[in-house]
Structure 1
């Protein structure tokens, strides 16, 4: 589209999208005073004076044009969102003159040749009024302190992040970084990262060499993962830090990072987590697949909502007793036999305790918000405590010592139930669980599956596992074919 003639008659328009065209003349828009949203990005516009009368505009996109004069915008006092990036604007005083731009409004000014006055006076004035201004300082400054980063992979990542492929790396530029993802780059030395003091989010996960290396390069570098994280100790603005899949054993440099809300340290070589006791703002903590046995440091982390400790050497979970805000907890693949310390964790919605040494699950009666439960691979025989957990949607009880499942009859919201490898003979409790779509009762002592026929909810697309049971002839010749006729996928 090049010519907008005729649009002037569309006098009731409220939203107009004209992006990615070849428009230069926008004078036909001058009479469209009901417009609230106008998108004109990626055109050939130089003159925006016709917009001065569009005082109902709330959102205006003018990015990627050839505009240098924005004085017509001074009168658009209802503007809440304004995008002007990639133009030829140096003077933004009309935005300061626009008294409507205030708290909560946003202006995008990046990739413009902004004057010193715009940068040093006008932008700060807008920000003082609560306007969110996005911009880039394109002026050249001498480096007050040059930073040397010995690890080439880390240097390359930082150069990409700050947009400086060559030349000196300045301390001031590094300090302005707020996000940095350097995962899967083969980094082994974090020297220089300590200057990125403005970082709020940092991803250092899985630092083995990139998979596009030759086989020889892989063999030489495969075990070169991060082990020393001392360079992170001063990054006190960090709120998110990912360090999974490395070779870290000492986490003491993290003790100062008290603003952290998310910390992932899974798949490392950590034994001692005492340094984490000071991270009281943590909301999510991943420590799975390490060598941890003592979790007493976690007792102080009362804001935790997600805690993942799978695959460690934990037997005593007493320190978790005060963490009443936890909703997601993984403790599978440990050596736990007593779960009574969890009794106060009544906010739990997701709980995994599989592959431990648990016999008594009476504490579960307190978890009336629980939606997903996995306790396979234990020594459980009594599941009566589950009878009141009516929010349960997914339950894994495989490889236990269960004979009686009558208490499951109340779980009317359940769609996934795994009872594989127990000692169950009677499945009548399942007849009323009409939301079931995946049921695995293989490797039990079941002969009669008529309760599944009575369950009208088990139908097309659902799956039932019955293998390795002493199924009677009626089940094999009558009941299973009836289920299959209903569209159920039966494995037996």
Structure 2
């Protein structure tokens, strides 16, 4: 062989070796180099940050001691691939925030994983998880249909339907697969150690596979297509059961679940719940938005701490007189007139009675433990009893026919106050309410707001549809973030420029000449102006 061809071969070999070395150094390594290949540059940035490493490639030994790792949401990064995570062999806990990840194949190598939490990605195929035999906790939450503020088109059509790859994960104790399109639960019969199961927001109608899960203590089946709940009657260890928004017409099969402490049945078609009277350990019961008109059996639940009967045609709440441990009662959008059964309920902290037919609230006298009270939408004849409820932090009296608010002057603990849709003209009694953070006074007859200048902790103030001409007194409200003053008689909006923390202001339908300079300055300060 001549020297010339030989030298060419040597030269070519050197070039190839050098190229491979250079290629590896730039982070596109073959495995033998010890450099981890990250297909997604944003994932590499997350890893670099977790290692406090400013630059250069990531070597396998650098991640060997990691036992926990988290990938943040798309608001910080836009991660499409988790290739590279297969090198994190000792990881036990992995959290993946909302991103655009669809392929879980790299996780198949992480056989020491015990906890895997994946939120709002593009997951459809669970096959790579079948090898993760040490998993104790698994959460894969799909995207709720009501979620806002997300990049358009990024989340459509990505749901899990087949859960059969999970069949061998016998150590699973906690499983959450919500907001998917799962209809078949047969695989769960092979997961005998499950204690918590959440398959809310799916397409489930058949619960028969759950009969095998006798160790379940927490079961969430919200928003499915369930009519028959008879398979649940043998789950005697259940303490929490959520059946909100299904297609139930009866609940007799739940009567054997005497260990239940929390039972949620809102949004079904129930008319009678008498069969639940054996559930004497209940502490929280939600039967809202059904068709229940009478519920005398509720008096048996003497340990109840929280009860929601809202959205039912109930007019008689005498049963509540027996529920002396109640701390929270939601009974809005009903037909209630008489609230005398509430008299002496000194454990009540939260009471929501809006949109009923209540005129007499004297039974509330002496309920000094109340912190939240909503009586909006009732035609109350005498509100003076409220003046003694001095622990109130939240009060809503919208549309109660109020003309004066003198009764509020000593309620100095108030942080949230809503008085819209009344006939109030004087707000002097609010002068000392320095703890107020949210104040809503829309649609009244208010002209003078000078009193509000002393409420230094206000963050949200709504004064729409009044008779206000001057807003100078608001300039000292340095904590104010949201201000609604549409529908008034304001002529000068320059005082708004002194509100340093303002983020949103609505000024439509006033009498000022549009001051584009002021609006521009506000917008330059990142204030959203609605005009």
TM-score range, shorter chain: 0.5 to 0.7
> C-alpha offsets along residues 131-173 of structure 1, whole Å, 9 cap, x if unaligned?
xxx999xxxxxxxxxxxxxxx9797597486479x9x9797x4
Cα deviation, residue 175, structure 1: 4.0
Deviations 1:406-428 (A, max 9, x none): 11111111111111111111212
Determine the structure 2 residue equivalent to 1:179: 240
Corresponding position of 1:306: 350
Partner Cα separation in structure 2 for residue 359 and residue 430 of structure 1 = 24
Matched, 1:375 2:413: no
Rounded to whole Å, the distance in 1 between the matches of 2:256 and 2:448 is 61
- The DSSP-based 3-state class of the residue aligned with 1:483 is helix
Q: Is the 8 A contact 1:264 1:285 kept in 2?
A: yes
Query: 1:476 aligns to what?
Result: 515
Map Cα deviations across residues 386-441 of structure 1 (whole Å, 9 max, x no partner).
11111111111000111111111111111111111111112121111122121111
Equivalent residues of 2:232, 2:253 under 8 A apart: no
Contact 1:153 1:185 in 2 (8 A): no
Distance 1:198 1:270, change over 3 A: same
Residue in 2 aligned with 1:240? Answer: 284
Cα deviation, 1:179-228, whole Å, max 9, x if unaligned, reads 22222221101223222212111111111xxxxxxxxxxxxxxxxx1010
Please state whether the residue corresponding to 2:338 is helix, strand or coil: coil
2:527 maps to which of 468, 488, 492: 488
Partner of 1:464: 505
Task: Name stretches of at least 5 consecutive residues in structure 1 with no aligned partner.
Answer: 1-13, 25-40, 45-62, 66-84, 88-110, 114-133, 137-151, 208-224
Counterpart mapping for 1:202-217 below 5 A: 202-207=263-268
Matched, 1:394 2:438: yes
1:405/1:427 contact within 8 Å kept: yes
Conservation of the 8 A alpha-carbon contact between 1:421 and 1:443: yes
Conserved 8 A contact 1:22-1:43:
no
Q: Confirm whether residue 330 of structure 1 aligns to residue 374 of structure 2.
A: yes
User: Aligned equivalents of 1:397 and 1:442: distance in 2?
Assistant: 12
Question: Do residues 194 (structure 1) and 237 (structure 2) align?
Answer: no
Shift of residue 486, structure 1, vs aligned partner: 3.2
Q: Give me the whole-angstrom Cα distance separating, in 2, the residues matched to 1:170 and 1:398.
A: 49
What is the CA–CA distance in structure 2 between the aligned matches of 1:419 and 1:180, rounded to whole Å? 43
In 2: Cα distance, 1:309 partner to 1:158 partner: 38
Measured in 2, the distance between the counterparts of 1:393 and 1:477 equals: 30
TM-score by length of 2: 0.58
What TM-score do the two structures reach when normalised by structure 1?
0.63
* Cα 1:425/1:193, change in 2 over 3 Å: same
Distance 1:192 1:490, change over 3 A: closer
Instruction: List per-residue Cα deviations over 1:349-392 (Å, max 9, x = no partner).
Output: 11111122011211212221111111100111111111111111
Moved more, 179-188 or 413-422: 179-188
Aligned-residue Cα RMSD (Å) equals 3.7
| Residue deviations 1:14-38 (CA, integer Å, cap 9, x gap) | 99779x99999xxxxxxxxxxxxxx
For this pair of structures, how many residues does the alignment match? 348
